[in-house]
A and B are shown apart, each in its own frame.
Chain A
Amino acid sequence: RLRKWQRRIRVSNATERNLAFALSELDRMASALGLPRTVRETAAVVYRKAVDKNLIRGRSIEGVAAAALYAACRQCSVPRTLDEIGEVSRVSRKEIGRTYRFISRELSLKLMPTSPIDYVPRFCSGLSLKGEVQSRGVEILRQASEKELTSGRGPTGVAAAAIYIASILCGERRTQREVADVAGVTEVTIRNRYKELAEELDIEIIL
C-alpha cells in the first residue's frame, strides 16, 4: 500500500536526518576539541551501535553523541574529561556522564578507567615540552602506579604533577600555574600530588 511506503519513507527520512545530525554534531565537537579523524570515526561507530540497539529512546541525540565521543576518546587513548566534552556540547556534564554509563554498559564497551599516562602527550605539547620530559613523566607515573599512588586520584591531577616534576628534572621547568591551566586542575591539586609523588618516589626537587 502506498500509505505503508510513505510511512517507511517518512521514518527512513527521519532516521537518516537524525543520523546526519548526530554525525555533524560529532564532527563539530571533535573539531572544537581538535580530535583526529580516527576518533571521530570511532565515535560514529559507537553512535551507530547505540542507534542499532535503540539506546537513543528517551535520550537526546546530542547527549548520546557527546557520550559516544567521550567513549571514543578513551577507546583511542586520547581521553578528554567530561568537563571538556561538556564545554563543546549543549548537554550538561552530568547528562553526558549518565549517558556514557548507559551506553558503556549496553554496548559492553568495558573500558578501563582513564590512565594518567594517556594525558601526558597532550599536556606536554600544550606546555611545549619535549619528548624527553614526556618520557620522564611517563616513567614517574609508572612508578607511582606501582606504589599505589594513583588509585582513586584524578588522572589529570596525577598526570599534571608528574609532568611538573619531570619538567624540573629535565631543566625545562614549568610553573604549577602553567601546568594547572593546561591540565584543567588547580594549583592546590598539583601541589598535593607532586608532594606525595616526590616523597614516596624519593625524588629530590630543588627549586
Chain B
Amino acid sequence: MTDYNIKIENVVASTKLAEEFDLTKIEAEFEGAEYNKQKFPGLVYRVSNPKAAFLVFTSGKVVCTGAKNVDDVHTVIADMAKKLNGIGIDTLEKPDITVQNIVASADLKAVLNLNAIAIGLGLENIEYEPEQFPGLVYRIDEPKVVVLIFSSGKLVVTGGKSPENCEEGVEVVRQQLDNMGLL
C-alpha cells in the first residue's frame, strides 16, 4: 500500500586515495581513461560491474558517480585502488568515503495538478516554469533535499546524503499533498 517504488538511481561519493596522482601515467595504463588538462583538471575513467564513473585528480582525491547504491560505491572504489596498485601506484589504506549526493525516483501513483500544488505549497517555496521544464521544483529543509514533482505523480529526489533522506523527502511531499487534498 505504501508502495511508492522508491529507487536509488545514482550515488555520488568522494574520497582521497593517495597524496598525489600522475594522471598522465594512469591515462597511459588504463584503457579508456580520458585526460585533457585544458578541458578539465580531472581524469575520467569508466568501470563496469558495478557500473560507475570516476573523476581522478592530481591531488589524490577521487569522485565516484553513477553507482546504483552505497555498497557499490565502496566496492568500486576498492576495485579502483586495486587497479592502481596493479600498475605500481600505492594507495591509502583506509580511505574515508563520503556520500555527497543520492538521486532517487519514486511514484505517488496519482495524477497531479501542478498549478494547485504550486499554490498549496506556496509560490515563494517552489519553482514551476512549464515553459522551461515540466517538473515543479520543491526544496525541503528537513531533510535537506530537492524534489522534482511531475504531473504524472512521479518524483525525483536529489541532494540527499543517505537513502533515508530520500525516503523522508518522498514522505514529506506525500503528506503535504495529502493534507492539502491534492493526492
Interchain CA distance A152-B130 in the complex, whole Å: 5
Chain B residues positioned under 8 Å from A145 (CB to CB): 115
Interface size counted on chain B using CB atoms at 8 A: 20
Interchain CA distance A148-B118 in the complex, whole Å: 14
B134 near A105 (CB under 8 angstroms)? no
For the complex, is B36 an interface residue (Cβ under 8 Å from A)? no
Query: Is the contact region of chain B dominated by helix, strand, or loop, or is it mixed?
Result: loop
Q: Say which size band chain A's interface belongs to.
A: 10 to 19
Interchain CA distance A96-B111 in the complex, whole Å: 32
A153 near B111 (CB under 8 angstroms)? no
For the complex, is A54 an interface residue (Cβ under 8 Å from B)? no
For the complex, is A207 an interface residue (Cβ under 8 Å from B)? no
Chain A residues positioned under 8 Å from B135 (CB to CB): 152
B131 near A148 (CB under 8 angstroms)? no
A152 near B131 (CB under 8 angstroms)? no
Chain B residues positioned under 8 Å from A206 (CB to CB): none
Interchain CA distance A82-B93 in the complex, whole Å: 52
Given contacts A97-B132, A113-B128, A113-B129, contact A151 B123 (CB under 8 A): no
A–B complex contacts, Cβ < 8 Å, 10 sampled: A110-B123, A112-B115, A112-B119, A113-B128, A113-B129, A113-B130, A114-B130, A148-B113, A154-B130, A155-B131
Interface residues of B (CB under 8 A from A): 111-115, 118-119, 123-124, 127-132, 134-135, 150-152
Instruction: Give the top 10 A-B pairs by smallest Cβ distance, nearest first.
Output: A151-B151, A152-B134, A152-B151, A151-B114, A110-B123, A113-B128, A148-B111, A113-B130, A154-B131, A155-B131
Interface residues of A (CB under 8 A from B): 81-82, 97, 101, 105, 108, 110-114, 145, 148, 151-156
